Amino acid sequence: MSQILEVAIPVPLNKTFDYLSDQEAKVGARVKVPFGRKKVIGVVLAHKNKSDFDKLKSIEEVLDDIPILDTPILDFLSWSANYYHHPIGEVITAALPKNLRIGKDAVIKKVVGLSNKIETPGFSISEEQKAVVDEISSCLNNYRGFLLHGVTGSGKTEVYLHLTQAVLDQGKQILILVPEIGLTPQMIARFESRLDTPIVAIHSQRNATQKLDAYLMAKNGTAGVVLGTRSAIFTPMPNLGLIIIDEEHDGSFKQQSGFRYSARDLCFIRAKQANIPIVLGTATPSLEMLKAVMDKKITRLSLAKRASGAQLPKVNLIDMRAETGGALSAILVAKMKQHLSNGKQVMLFINRRGYAPVYFCTECGWKSECDHCDSPMIYHRSINRLKCHHCNHEKIPEQTCPECQQQSLEVFGYGTQRLEETLSSHFTNIPIIRIDRDTTRRKKAFAEHLEQINSGKPCIIVGTQMLAKGHDFSQLAMVGILDIDGGLLSSNFRGTEYLAQLLIQVSGRAGRAEQQGEVAIQTRYPDHPIFNYVLSNRYTQFASTLLKQRAQTKLPPFSHQALICANAKTKHNAKDFLQEIANLLKNISIDSVEIWGPVTPVIEKKADYYYFNLYLQSTDRKALHQMLATLNQHTDTLSLKNKVRWYLDIDPIE
Ligand code: ADP
Ligand code: ZN
Ligand code: ZN
C-alpha cells in the first residue's frame, strides 16, 4: 500500500512537496526523490492521508531506516525556519553535515574523541568560581538562562569544566558553542585532558568524514560533549543536559549568508524545548543580554577577579596627534623594548591585513580603487599586487598615475605586513609572529603559530581580530593597540559597543599570569568618551550608557529589526524592487512597524552588484513577524523579482 509523504527539499521555495512511497519511510529519514529533471535528497517531515495535489511522483529510495533527524531536532528546525522566514528545506540542509546532505550512509567510520589521560589541574577552584558552579548546578533540570559575566582571565573555562562534569555525572550530554576562531586545538585539548567522556569537535577545520562521525556520535549519545562553532547548535543530542555559549557577544554566532540565523538566540529556544539551563559566558556582554538581565529573563552571575590572582592590565592612551605619521609611536617602541628585555612577550593588534590600505598619487591625489567595488585596493607587498578584500580582485600596481601620468605613486597607512616589516627594523633579534588570514590559510598554520607563542620565549606577535578572543598566553606582558580610530567614527549604531568589546578583549590578553600587564592604545581621538570607561575597565557602566541611548532612540535591543537587502547589476533594479516591497508592506499596514528605505549601505557596489537596504523596525516583535509572513505570501507578485537577488535578515547585526 503506498503512503503519502510530505518531504522537505533543499530549494529556495517556501513550501514542502508530497510524494508517494511503497516502502516504509519514517519521519526524519532521508529519501531520494525526483525533482524536475534531477534527483535530490529530501527529509520526510510527515505522513499524510491525502494531498492537495494529484499525480504525485514516487520516491526513488529510502536512505535511512533510523531517522537522521529526531523529533526534538525537527521541531527545533521548524521553529527556526518559521522564525527566520526561511524555507524549511534549506534550513535542514544547513543543519546536516555535508556527507548526509549528499546522500552518504549514516555510519560512523572511526570512533573519535576518547580521552586517554585525565589530568587534574594544579589549583583548586576559587570561592567565586565555586559559588557560580553551585548556583547553576542546583538547577540543572529546568530551563534557566545565566549570563556568566567574568572579567578576562577570571577562569570561565574552569567553570565550564566543572559544570560539564556535573552534567556528565547525571548521565547527560553538554553542548558548548564557541566563536569561530576560539575553537583552537588548545581549547579542545583542555577539555579532553579533563573530562572522561568522548568529546567531539565540530568546526570548519574538520573534514567531511570527521564531521559526520562527530554528528553521529552526538546523535547516538556516545559523545558526552560536543564542542562546536555556530552550526553545532543543530546537532541532535538525545540526552542534552546543558548548553554553554562562550564569548556570547561574538559576531560569529550569526550566520551571514544563506540561512541567516543567530546560534546564540536559537540556543534559548533549544534550551527551553529540552527544559535545561543555558549559560552565556563573556567579559563583555552584548547589550541584548544585559537587557535580558534587566528584564529578569536571565540571571547575571559574576566573576570579578582574575583566577590567577593577577590584576587586570593597566591601560594607557598614546596621543598620536603629536606623531609624524609612522605606525609606531616612540613611547610604544620604548615600552615594548622594556618588556622584551625582561624576557616577556608583546602583542600588537592592528585590524587590517596586507601591506598598506592606500595606494595613491602624491601629485594629484588619485587613489587606486577596485573596478568592481566601492572599495580601495589594498597593497600586498609579498606578491606585489593590489587586492580588493571584498571581491578578491587582484591587479599589478600601476607604475605611473593613471590621472596625471607622473611617477608619483606611493603607499599610505599600515596593515599587518608593513607593521611586521617596520618592527623588524626596530627589533633585529626578536622573532616576529604574524597572525592574520594570509599567514593562517594553511590548515595547521594557526596551531603552529600558537605553539610557538606558548613556548614562552620572548617574541612580538602581530595580528588582527583573530587574536582578540579567548587566548591565554602566560608570558604576554604587553598589548599595543594600533589604528582603531576608524571604529570610533563608525556609522553602524552598534559601532561603539563592538569597539569597547574589542578593546577590552584584546587588552584582556595581557598579564594573565602573576604580573600586572600593560596595554597601550594609540589614537588621534584621546578625548573620545569610550576611553573613559575602557581605561578604567568599566565595561558595564559604558554598556549602561549605551543602553540608555538605545532606549531613547528605540533601537535594538529596545526594538526588533528586519533587513531586506536587494542587489542587482543595474542600480535602479535593486532600488525599484525594494520600493515595490516597501509599497506592498505599506499596504499590509500594521501601524506599529516602521519602514525605512530603500537606502544605500556604506559600500554600495560589491563585485559589480549594487546594493540597497530596506529596514523594518518595531517594538512589537509579533507585529513585525506577521508583516513579514504576509510579505512572504505575496513575493510572487513582485514584478522585478527575477531581476534581483535578495534576502531577508531577521535581527540583523551589520
Ligand atoms: P577565561 O576563560 O575567563 O578568560 P580561563 O578559564 O582561561 O579564563 O582561566 C585563565 C587562567 O587562569 C588559566 O590559565 C587557568 O588555568 C587559570 N585558572 C582558572 N581557574 C583557576 C583557579 N581557581 N586558580 C588558579 N588558576 C586558575
Ligand atoms: Zn596623479
Ligand atoms: Zn572588489
Query: Alpha carbon of 64 to those of 23, 74, 101, 506: distances in Å?
Result: 11, 15, 12, 47
Going from the Cα of 437 to the center of ligand 3, the distance in angstroms, rounded, reads 17
Q: pLDDT by residue (tens digit) across 431-471? A: 999 998 888 888 788 888 888 998 999 999 999 988 776 67
Query: Alpha carbon of 325 to those of 78, 247, 356: distances in Å?
Result: 55, 35, 13
Q: pLDDT by residue (tens digit) across 146-167? A: 999 999 889 999 999 999 999 9
List the one residue out of 309, 628, 315, 294 whose CA is nearest residue 484. Answer: 315
pLDDT reported for residue 514: 74
pLDDT reported for residue 307: 87
> Mean pLDDT across the stretch 355-377?
94
Average pLDDT, the chain: 92
Q: Given strand 378-380, what is the order of strands in its sheet?
A: 378-380, 385-387, 394-395
Instruction: Say whether pLDDT at 515 is over 90.
Output: no
Q: Which of 200-204, 240-244, 252-256, 298-302 is the least confident region?
A: 200-204
Going from the Cα of 501 to the center of ligand 3, the distance in angstroms, rounded, reads 29
- What nine digits make up the cell of 376? 580601495
Residue at grid coordinates 538566540: 265
pLDDT band at 174 (very low <50, low <70, confident <90, very high): very high
Residue 124 alpha carbon, nearest atom of ligand 1: 23
> Mean pLDDT across the stretch 567-589?
94
Name the residue with the closest Cα to ligand 1, atom 6: 155
pLDDT reported for residue 583: 94
Name the residue with the closest Cα to ligand 1, atom 26: 308
Counting ligands in written order, which one lies closest to the CA of residue 364?
Answer: 2
Name the residue with the closest Cα to ligand 1, atom 20: 155
Cα gap 152→363, rounded to integer Å: 48
Instruction: Say whether pLDDT at 117 is over 90.
Output: no
CA dihedral 17, 21, 23, 27 (to 10 degrees): 30
What DSSP element (H or E) covers 337?
A: helix 330-341
> Mean pLDDT across the stretch 48-62?
92
- Main-chain phi, psi angles of 617, to 5 degrees: -145, 140
Going from the Cα of 537 to the center of ligand 3, the distance in angstroms, rounded, reads 38
Instruction: Say whether pLDDT at 510 is over 90.
Output: no
Q: Which of 132-141, 408-417, 511-520, 607-616 is the least confident region?
A: 511-520
pLDDT reported for residue 470: 65
pLDDT above 70 covers a percentage of the chain that reads 99
Going from the Cα of 365 to the center of ligand 2, the distance in angstroms, rounded, reads 6
pLDDT reported for residue 113: 66
pLDDT reported for residue 508: 87
Helix, strand or coil, per DSSP, at residue 568 = strand
pLDDT reported for residue 14: 87
Instruction: Say whether pLDDT at 1 is over 70.
Output: no
Buried (b) or exposed (e) across 136-173, using 16+ Cβ within 10 A? bbeebeeebbbbbbbbbbbbbbbbbbbbbbbbbeeebb
Contact 77, 84 (CB under 8 A): no
Q: pLDDT by residue (tens digit) across 266-282? A: 999 999 999 999 999 99
Q: pLDDT by residue (tens digit) across 596-614? A: 999 999 889 999 999 999 9
Residue at grid coordinates 541567516: 260
For a mutational test of ligand 1's pocket, the pick from 120, 157, 469, i.e. the residue with the most ligand atoms closer than 8 A to its C-beta, is 157
pLDDT band at 227 (very low <50, low <70, confident <90, very high): very high
Q: Where are the beta strands (DSSP E) in 262-405?
A: 277-282, 299-303, 314-319, 345-350, 358-361, 378-380, 385-387, 394-395
pLDDT reported for residue 7: 97
Q: pLDDT by residue (tens digit) across 304-324? A: 998 888 888 999 999 999 887
pLDDT band at 387 (very low <50, low <70, confident <90, very high): very high
Going from the Cα of 400 to the center of ligand 2, the distance in angstroms, rounded, reads 8
For a mutational test of ligand 1's pocket, the pick from 156, 158, 190, i.e. the residue with the most ligand atoms closer than 8 A to its C-beta, is 158
pLDDT above 90 covers a percentage of the chain that reads 78
Which protein residues touch ligand 1 with a CB less than 6 Å away? 123, 125-126, 129, 150, 152-158, 307-308, 472, 512
Residue 150 alpha carbon, nearest atom of ligand 1: 3
- Between strands 173-177 and 240-246, the pairing is parallel
- What nine digits make up the cell of 570? 543595474
pLDDT band at 513 (very low <50, low <70, confident <90, very high): confident
Helix, strand or coil, per DSSP, at residue 462 = strand
pLDDT reported for residue 115: 63
Q: pLDDT by residue (tens digit) across 9-31? A: 999 888 999 999 999 999 999 99
Contact 219, 195 (CB under 8 A): no
List the one residue out of 253, 430, 264, 422 whose CA is nearest residue 330. Answer: 422
Q: pLDDT by residue (tens digit) across 521-537? A: 999 999 999 998 988 88
From the CA atom positions of the chain, what is the Rg in Å? 26
Cα gap 422→416, rounded to integer Å: 10
Going from the Cα of 417 to the center of ligand 2, the distance in angstroms, rounded, reads 26
* Preceding peptide of 598 cis, ω within 30°: yes
Instruction: Say whether pLDDT at 192 is over 80.
Output: yes
> Mean pLDDT across the stretch 290-303?
97
> Mean pLDDT across the stretch 108-126?
81
> Mean pLDDT across the stretch 563-585?
96
